[in-house]
Amino acid sequence: MKQTPSIPDWGSRSFIMGILNITPDSFSGDGLLNQDDLITKAVDQAIEFVKAGVDILDIGGESTRPGAEIIDAKEEIKRIVPIIEAISAEIQDTIISVDTYKSPVAESAIKAGAHWVNDVWGLRADPEMARFLSKINVPVIIMHNRSDPANVITAKSLGGRYTNIQYDDLVADIINDLTISIEIAHKGGILDRNIIIDPGLGFGKTVAQNLELMNNLGKLKSLGYPILVGPSRKSFIGYTLNKPPDERKFGTAAAVSVCIQKGADIVRVHDVEEMIQVARMTDAIVRL
């Protein structure tokens, strides 16, 4: 395992996580898996992101779009490990995160050169994940997720969205669910300094619930952990603006700016160069 780059100085500025989807079915249309010379394209994209100023590269091998096909750990490892190895060899000082909820995939990715784990099921999908992460002492992003394929509806140009997702009190319920995941982390031995929380925009939430969550993001500060948000190109933007994924850049920019104003420490995005400018301008206004 390589030396981990320093953990960001939380609160000093907004940090940017760039998305590399090693999938054939990304909702955003940026999946790299079926492209020729995959490794070269992935490395080139990573280098481009780093030159633009990205802080973290997030590499995932399984699509998390509503209704996406679940793949097994073996296939996920096959997709991402060669990419992580190649990027790790080229890029030395940028954090590499692996987007997975499976401990065997996390272990293979860390051995290949990844530094963080981004668990979209908040340590609940794999009972071994918390113990593994404690053992190797790496940061983990713990995400809130109430996704259920039974609640997905799809429009041809806009993609899938969740409907009929019930919360008693949206933000309070998300905080309670994240608290349970944090307790799992503590029981597994994960240290507080290695925990980042993500309220799970787009995961098991309706369009209206996603908008409400962003407007109340600051309430998650009560948990005491850095906050990551991932609004980029999400369906709640598409359904609000009636735009397909490749026309959601301006909507994403608005969401990124609001999330930073409301307390986000990291924003996870596809359009790295543009969203860095949005983040820097928003920081100049709100982080005086």
Question: Chain-wide mean pLDDT for the chain?
Answer: 93
Q: Is 80 exceeded by the pLDDT of residue 167?
A: yes
Q: Average pLDDT of 171-181?
A: 98
Q: Is 124 a catalytic residue?
A: no
CATH number of 15-283: 3.20.20.20
What sign for the dihedral angle of Cα 212, 217, 222, 224?
positive
Q: Which of 234, 248, 249, 262 is catalytic?
A: 234
Q: Is 268 a catalytic residue?
A: yes
Alpha carbon separation from 82 to 22, 137, 145, 235 (Å, rounded): 11, 23, 28, 30
pLDDT the model gives residue 155: 86
The full set of domain ranges for the chain reads 15-283
Top pLDDT among 68 and 19 is at 19
pLDDT the model gives residue 27: 46
Specify which residues 15 forms β-bridges with: 266
Q: Which residue has the tokens 């981990």?
A: 4
pTM of the model: 0.93
